[in-house]
Amino acid sequence: MSIKSFLIGSPIETVKEKYERLSKLMGLAIFSSDAMSSVAYATEEILFALVLAGTAMLHYSMPVAFGISALIAIVAMSYYQTIHAYPNGGGAYIVAKENLGAYPALVAGAALLIDYVLTVTVSISAGIAAITSAFPSLHDHKISLCLFAIFVIMIGNLRGVRESGKIFAIPAYVFIGSLLLLIFIGISKYLSLPHPPAPEYKEASANILPIFIILRAFASGCAALTGIEAIANGVQAFKPPESRNAGVTLIWMALILGSLFMGITFLADHYGIMPNENETVLSQVAKAVFSKGIFYYIIQFSTSLILILAANTSFAGFPMLSSIMASDRYLPRQLSSRGDKLVFSNGILILAIFSSLLIVIFRGNTHALIPLYAVGVFCAFTLSQAGMVKHWIAFKGKGWIKNVVINGTGAISTTVVLIVIASTKFIHGAWIVIIAIPGLVFLTMKIHAHYLSVADQLSTDTECLVKEDVFKHHTVIIPVSGTQRAVLGAIKYAKALSDDVSAVYVCLDPVETAKIQARWDHRCMGVRLIILESPFRSVIEPLVDYIEEIRNVYKDGVITVVLPEFVPRKWWHHILHNQTALLIKGILLFKKGVVSTSVPFHLTK
């Protein structure tokens, strides 16, 4: 407990939850860090896709970036409508459930949950890549650095929403400010100095269709849209009025994101930046504008920080979405419970575990993870916007036609992009997500069916207890290993439960058995001792067989197995003793009509 208090601080009372809400500035830092950070690698992904057909294709980076920026505006406007229509949050899952039904909602939820895990993995990997670009000697320690970064983000989020906002706000705004400075100085140089001759590019390969390459570049660059839905998912994390504050924050995010993305792509095109496996595009742009001075290192450091902290968006969104789905009984109910710091601690821990596994599996390679990244995002976008169209048509209201046009445009746009991404990225890893989403949907349906079955079996609505619904006989059995004081305490308790009490001893050594029989009668309060033979030296099997015999004799009865247990004073003393009682309880748990209980005897030394 002292370690836990040191790492995550003191618990917060439930009544203080309203004081843990976020302002717009804090909300922008927490919920927008993922979207903002994507400008560090979205341009790079466009260039990597274009250069496959020859360097002449790199000039298409600006038209591709313009198309993606237009898509950012469309999606942001659509989610602005969602925030005000569904102020309780939940985003695509809630919208799809309310308007399209359970199955589309589960698809949206599964897509977002998978995307949140990938967001952590991609963001952390890209952040560490920024560090290793500036300090190449750290490249061999990339995976260890990634895992350490995930641990730090996890601890920050376990400390609570407001505290995580305080931790992550400064790096987010340093990143935004440093990139705006980079773009401003870079464009100023472009306007004030004579333009250098355009770089000589090789012609595109005639064997590759340019349109396919452009579509693939567009699909890769759409990673810039990841995280836009996070604000719609977490509306209730904002201070009142929640919808208004969340909507304003969303507008700020879209404007900043579009400006940074277009600015970086323009400078990369102007300076003829070539994608490089060992150095990020943003690093090359910063080096071209500032040389390798203090501002270059500020940009690299702030970029690495925001990329690492971009994972915080997922640590805010994943636990909240999983808690909503758990409340609907589609995920384990433990995910719906808040921890000591009023955050969904179990969701935070699970997200950290899964993202760490992906880091190890993919060796922290950002480019290997990007193809998996955008499929789930646009699947959720499409279902959310389609659900909003149905919502406006069903409920109408003031300005509903305008809202239908906005959300309809968003639904059509994201559907087209989803098809492009799925087709162009399928063989590069998107197939994994396309298979994983139905797999997760199937799992959630199984969980839901289990909870419905449990609720039905536990319900008393269809039956009522009557006089005859009582046990006809109560047998109490005490497994013993001798005549210790722990056994005497268990006998006292057992005699208070029933008149039919017997102790059971499993004979492993005839000499020791004879000694116990000799001492038993005058020490153990008239409780009979039953000796069970065990030719194969097993304690558990003869005991279970004896319990089955009793069950067959008293079919309408109940058996209570009272287990004498001594409790060592120090935790490590448990290692020195066998755990037979624990094993017996585990086995008896699955025996119908059998109850096990422990009578502890606490050691003082």
DSSP conformation letters of 362-398: TTT-HHHHHHHHHHHHHHHHHHHHHHHHHHHHHH--T
* Coil, helix or strand at residue 530: strand
| Contact of 233 with 323, CB cutoff 8 Å | no
Q: What are the tens digits of pLDDT across the range 89-117?
A: 767 898 899 999 999 999 999 998 988 88
Amino acid at 396: K
Alpha-carbon distance 145 to 131, whole Å? 10
Do residues 437 and 479 share a domain?
A: no
Distance from C-alpha of 278 to C-alpha of 398, rounded to nearest angstrom = 54
Choose one of 404, 430, 447: the last residue of a domain. 447
pLDDT at 369: 67
Local confidence band at 8 (pLDDT 50, 70, 90 cut-offs)? low
Q: Is the pLDDT of residue 342 over 70?
A: no
pLDDT at 17: 53
pLDDT in tens, 117-138: 888 888 788 778 767 776 788 8
Provide the pLDDT confidence category of residue 399 given band limits of 50, 70 and 90.
Answer: confident
Pairwise CA distance, residues 228 & 10, whole Å: 32
Q: Are 38 and 307 in contact (CB under 8 A)?
A: no
The pLDDT score that the predictor gives to residue 119 is 82
Give the max Cα distance, the chain: 109
Residue 576 pLDDT > 80, yes or no?
A: no
Contact of 185 with 286, CB cutoff 8 Å: no
Co-location of 122 and 196 in the same domain: yes
Number of domains in the chain: 2
Q: Residue 504 belongs to what domain range? A: 474-602
| Nearest CA-CA partner of 264 in 285, 279, 283, 284 | 285
pLDDT value at position 462? Answer: 56
pLDDT surpasses 60 at 1: no
Residue 559 pLDDT: 93
Residue 298's identity, in one-letter code, is I
204 and 92 within one domain: yes
Quote the pLDDT of residue 597.
Answer: 92
Tell me whether residue 461 is in a domain.
Answer: no
- The domain that holds 491 is classified in CATH as 3.40.50.620
pLDDT for residue 510 is more than 90: no
Q: Is the same domain home to 479 and 568?
A: yes
Residues in the chain: 605
The reply to whether 214 falls in a domain is yes
- Is 403 found in the same domain as 504? no
The pLDDT value recorded for residue 254 is 93
Query: pLDDT of 420-467, one tens digit each?
Result: 878 877 777 677 888 889 999 999 999 999 999 888 877 766 555 555
When mean pLDDT is compared across 179-193, 212-226, 402-416, the lowest value belongs to: 212-226
Report the pLDDT averaged over residues 4-28: 63
- CA distances from residue 294 to 41, 179, 267, 283, 299 in whole angstroms, order as listed: 22, 14, 19, 13, 9
pLDDT at 314: 83
Lowest mean pLDDT among 120-129, 169-178, 199-208: 199-208
Say if residue 275 is preceded by a cis peptide, omega within 30 of 0.
no
Domain boundary residue among 399, 431, 447? 447
Determine what percent of the chain is predicted with pLDDT higher than 90: 20
Candidates 506, 275, 227; CA nearest to 377 is 227
Residue 204 pLDDT > 70: no
CATH number of the domain that residue 210 is part of: 1.20.1740.10
Residues 6+ apart with CB under 8 A from 268: 43, 47, 61, 281, 284, 285
- What is the helix (H) or strand (E) element at residue 401, kind and residue range? helix 400-424
Lowest mean pLDDT among 25-29, 352-356, 362-366, 570-574: 362-366
Rounded average pLDDT over 6-13: 56
CA distance 587 to 570: 27
- Contact by Cβ (8 Å): 43, 192: no
> Strand 594-602 relative to strand 474-479: parallel, antiparallel, unpaired?
unpaired
Same domain, yes or no: 78 and 148: yes
Angstrom distances, CA of residue 524 to CA of 480, 501, 503, 514: 11, 12, 10, 16
With both helix axes pointing from N to C terminus, report the angle between 102-134 and 430-458 in degrees, rounded to the nearest 10. 130
265 and 397, same domain (yes or no): yes
> What is the structure's pLDDT at 99?
92
Whether residue 43 lies inside any domain: the answer is: yes
How far, in whole angstroms, is CA 450 from its chain's centroid?
22
pLDDT at 15: 47
From residue 347, alpha-carbon distances to 117, 273, 321, 335 in Å are 11, 41, 9, 6
Does the pLDDT at position 228 exceed 90?
A: no
Are 281 and 43 within 8 A, CB to CB?
yes
487 with 399, same domain: the answer is no
Residue 305 CA from chain centroid, whole number:
21
Contact criterion met (CB below 8 Å) for 590 and 582: no
Q: Considering only 54-63, 269-278, 407-416, 567-576, which range has the smallest mean pLDDT?
A: 567-576
Report d(CA 495, CA 486) in Å as an integer: 15
Higher-pLDDT residue of 597 and 300 is 597
Q: Confidence class of residue 26 from pLDDT cuts 50, 70 and 90?
A: confident
| Any domain includes 427 | yes
Q: Over 90: is that where the pLDDT of 199 sits?
A: no
- pLDDT band for position 37 (cuts 50, 70, 90): confident
In whole angstroms, how far apart are CA 168 and each of 34, 43, 302, 549?
A: 12, 24, 12, 64
pLDDT of residue 201: 47
Any alpha helices (H) in 271-344, and if so which ranges? Answer: 281-290, 294-309, 311-327
Alpha carbon 259 to chain centroid, angstroms: 30
Residue 2 lies in a domain: no
Which pLDDT score is estimated for 468?
55
Query: At residue 505, does pLDDT exceed 60?
Result: yes
Residue 7 confidence class, pLDDT cut points 50, 70, 90: low
Examine the domain organization and report whether 490 and 576 are in the same domain: yes
Q: What is the mean pLDDT of residues 249-276?
A: 90
Residue type, 5: S
> Which whole number is the average pLDDT over 509-520?
85
Mean pLDDT computed over 228-243: 82
Q: Examine the domain organization and report whether 423 and 517 are in the same domain.
A: no
Residue (of 362, 359, 349, 338) closest to 315 by Cα position: 349
pLDDT score for 424:
74
Domain boundary among 447, 465, 491: 447
Q: Has residue 135 been placed in a domain?
A: yes
Q: What pLDDT, in 10s, does the model give residues 289-311?
A: 888 788 888 888 888 788 777 78
| 515 and 589 housed in the same domain | yes
Q: Which residues pair with 475 in a beta bridge?
A: 500, 559
Alpha carbons 279 and 288: distance in angstroms, whole number: 13
Whether 63 and 113 map to the same domain: the answer is yes
**Closest C-alpha to 304, from 499, 161, 172:** 172
Please indicate, yes or no, if residue 83 is contained in any of the structural domains: yes
Q: Which range has highest mean pLDDT (28-32, 523-527, 597-601)?
A: 597-601
Domain-located, residue 204:
yes
pLDDT tens readout for residues 536-545: 778 888 899 9
Cα angle 450, 454, 458 (rounded to 5 degrees) comes to 175
Q: Average per-residue pLDDT in the chain? A: 82
Q: Given this model, what pLDDT does residue 367 score?
A: 60
